Amino acid sequence: MKLVALPALTDNYIWLLHDGEQALVVDPGEPQPVRTALNELGLRLAAILVTHHHADHTGGVAALAKETGAAVHLPAHELIPVDGHRHAEGATVAILGLPWQVLEVPGHTRGHIAWYGAEVGGTPLLFCGDTLFSAGCGRLFEGTAQQMHASVSRLAALPEPTRVCCAHEYTLSNLAFARAVEPHNLERDRYEALCRHRRAQGEPTLPSSIGLERAVNPFLRCGEVAVRDAVIRHAGLPADADQVALFAALRRWKDEFR
């Protein structure tokens, strides 16, 4: 199986996974990058996976499905006006001969899901949409801080080698915020240098990994003393603030960070 990040729109990635003959794509916000890749690689589109309803993740779904006959797999609890198979928590769907587990991860939207493949080329694969970013997490457009904290904590509990396929190239801006929160994190410094090199070469910073995100992502590190103390100082929280309060304050800080 080969994994390809297709740049789309302003800063989106449409993820394409293929076996040399058939492919799946995730969150095609526009159709043309997918059309081009299918043509250049000589692939047939077998399936389209969607994580949530925002237009930059669904804008190309209907056209691609009509043109290719690909099966469309959608979140059960999102309003997406496209015909397809709708899946909720606990579902396992066979796509490209592999089992994909549906994880409900609300927060960015109420019905957001992630797609987890535990058996993809020997290394697990996570398509997490806008729930988890490298060194960050999604904004709380519809859900609560409690929901998002639970969602990213759930993803952080996946095996460390799991490849994290986020839907946006936000890594460098997220790392700048992570540096403000936790300035003495050497692992983050090394990762930031690598990401700057990749972007200078015109390459994606993604996929990341769960193990790396545990080491550098402040939204997964609210229990670390340095992160906890920084958030308490910045937000004026009581010293005994719980994890959800810390997470909510950290998300507000990121919303305002420039």
User: H-helix or E-strand containing 39?
Assistant: helix 32-41
Known catalytic residues are: 52, 54, 56-57, 108, 130, 168
Q: How many residues does the chain have?
A: 258
Residue 1 corresponds to which tokens in the numbers above? 């199986």
Paired tokens of 133: 């970013």
**Structure tokens belonging to residue 77:** 């609890």
Across-strand partners of 95?
98
Among the listed residues 9, 29, 5, the one whose alpha carbon sits nearest the alpha carbon of residue 18: 5
| CA atoms lying within 13 Å on the CB side of residue 240 | 0
Whether the bond between 33 and the residue before it is cis, its omega within 30 degrees of 0, is no
CA distance 78 to 224: 34
- Looking at residue 60, its amino acid is G
- 34 closest CA partner among 74, 10, 71, 64: 64
Which residues on neighbouring strands pair with residue 26, listed in sequence order?
Answer: 15, 49
3-state SS, residue 252: helix
